[in-house]
Structure 1
Amino acid sequence: MMNLQHDQSGRPEPFAGEDPLSPYTQALREHFPSREEILREAKQQTRRQRRFKKTAGVVASCLALALSWYIDPVLQRESMQTAVGQQATYHLKDGSEVTLNTNSLLIVEQHLYSRQLRLPQGEALFRVQHGWRPFTVYAYQTTIRDIGTVFNVRNTAHGAEVTVIEGLVEVITGTAKQVLSHHQTLRSEAGALSAIRHISAESATAWQQGRLMFDAQPLSAVVAELQRYHAGQIQITDSHVGQYQLSGEYDIHGIDALIDVLPEILPVRVERHADQSVVIRHH
């Protein structure tokens, strides 16, 4: 009687032509992924990486855009200035026009997303060429935002005076905000805004025509205006004299002539000195 031969491990000998590892194939498949599964996982991983990179790129672009809007860097800066008694008109690169009055300084900044102009001293009339960049003027802690207009800004000793010739502007201080329309004017002082006053276009733009207009103005206010166009100091020695009122229309380029004629209009005496200073006394 014949006995079947077994190997020492107890596993039967494979038949001729049979893969010796075939008994282990199923067990290996249960513990290790197949080639197809590896390729499929690799493709899915590649797609996930592409989606992540695309999302990261979009997020980075949005962050960069948001940061640039927040920073709004200066691309170009230039200064414009007039001397005492001088007036000048400048054409900005965006097509806007600025006319500076006597003894004025304007700093024009072209930012990435805005147009910002600073008026540390003096007076300027702005004719704005509208565009997608906001047009903003800063004068003595006051912000003036153009909404579509021609407007005048004067940096006074205590704040800013804003007058709208055409259109609208928004005037902003630390504690107040007001929209002005055409032929309206107001002043800012110590963070507050005065009541709105109406003014004629002729009065608002008189200085551009080389004229000074006074309507029953105290002599102290008249002298303060004349001082802007006069190199020498003009002084009133008596507060009572400063209360005298003056009316009329005068030539900006004839300031000395106006000073000389004051004794013919008011009960005052004018003294001139070698340093171009002027003293106005009671007659």
Structure 2
Amino acid sequence: MADIWDAIGLLGIEDVRADTATPQMSRRWAMGGLLAAGLTGAAIGTALWTQRPLTYSTPVGGQLTVALNDGSRVTLNTGSNLEVRFHGRKREIRLVSGEAYFEVAHRADRDPFYVTAGAARIRVTGTRFAVQLHPDQRIDIDLLEGHIRTGKRGDHAVEEAGVRSLSAGQALRLDKQGEVLAQIPAESLRVENWLNQRAYFHDTPLSDAVAEMNRYRTTPLVVDNATSARVRVNGVFDTHNSGDFVAAVQALYGIRLRERTPSA
């Protein structure tokens, strides 16, 4: 039976806006799988879990923290989708969309922890890092603690030459093919703030700041002209109260943001 829980990879879900997040495997289905395993042998149950990874998702504005059975933790940000596949020594995660923060437990009795996002594949032992998969399939990787190695999806030997290694405080920006666009300092303040439902902006173009706030809104905000879009903004804002952001932009920069109407 322990092998079945290893295959699931799940220990528990913590209450971080969990009411707005959606695990995609029902308790009824899970219990059915366990009963089937009891009737036909644990090996069948394990294979069943391996074929169908456990999936977690958050809606717009949602956030969810999941504790895995190896001691690792994953926090999903707004509008994100994640697949977890644990079996035996193997630990595989796929970020299907959105953004996730990982606290990976070092386990000598397990294989390295792998995260796939778009065209990128990340090899981890024990560390803290964030990955964002943009809608256009660009990938941001910010390493807050430890070491990771990154290669392209499908390259399971991420120890080979040409693979990038990152140390704490470093970040990579990759294109949709997994090629490196830039290696920069990690945006640790941005990551730490979104973990607390805040958006952090430092000398950020208004267009980028609006795009970030829109990730938490069902009705997007719009900047009306290119000149305003280039204005640099600073501040920390509650991602669930974008009215404060709109008011601050108007008060500090004299720029009025509007909501996009369905016909706009």
Length-normalised TM-score, structure 1:
0.66
Supply the distance in 1 between the matched residues of 2:257 and 2:105 (Cα, whole angstroms): 46
Q: Is contact 1:139-1:159 (8 Å) kept?
A: no
1:128 aligns with 2:104: yes
Supply the distance in 2 between the matched residues of 1:172 and 1:206 (Cα, whole angstroms): 28
Q: Secondary structure at the match of 1:95?
A: coil
Q: Is contact 1:75-1:112 (8 Å) kept?
A: no
Q: Secondary structure at the match of 1:209?
A: coil
Out of 132-141 and 228-237, give the one that drifted further. 228-237
Supply the distance in 2 between the matched residues of 1:155 and 1:166 (Cα, whole angstroms): 20
Identity of aligned residues (%): 30
Q: Which amino acid aligns with 2:147?
A: L
Out of 193-202 and 135-144, give the one that drifted further. 193-202
Q: 1:6: which partner in 2? A: none
Q: Which amino acid aligns with 2:245?
A: L
Mapping of residues 128-277 of structure 1, within 5 Å: 128-131=104-107, 132-156=110-134, 157-173=136-152, 177-189=163-175, 190-199=177-186, 201-272=188-259
> Deviation at 1:270?
2.9
Structure 2: runs of 5 or more not aligned: 1-48, 156-161
1:115 aligns with 2:91: yes
What CA deviation, in whole Å up to 9, does each residue of 1:8-67 have, x standing for no partner? xxxxxxxxxxxxxxxxxxxxxxxxxxxxxxxxxxxxxxxxxxxxxxxxxxxxxxxxxxxx
> Deviation at 1:199?
3.2
Q: Is contact 2:220-2:260 (8 Å) kept?
A: no
Q: Is contact 2:149-2:164 (8 Å) kept?
A: yes
Q: Secondary structure at the match of 1:265?
A: helix
Structure 1: runs of 5 or more not aligned: 1-72
Supply the distance in 2 between the matched residues of 1:235 and 1:250 (Cα, whole angstroms): 17
Out of 215-224 and 254-263, give the one that drifted further. 254-263
RMSD value, Cα: 2.4
Supply the distance in 2 between the matched residues of 1:166 and 1:140 (Cα, whole angstroms): 23
Length-normalised TM-score, structure 2:
0.70
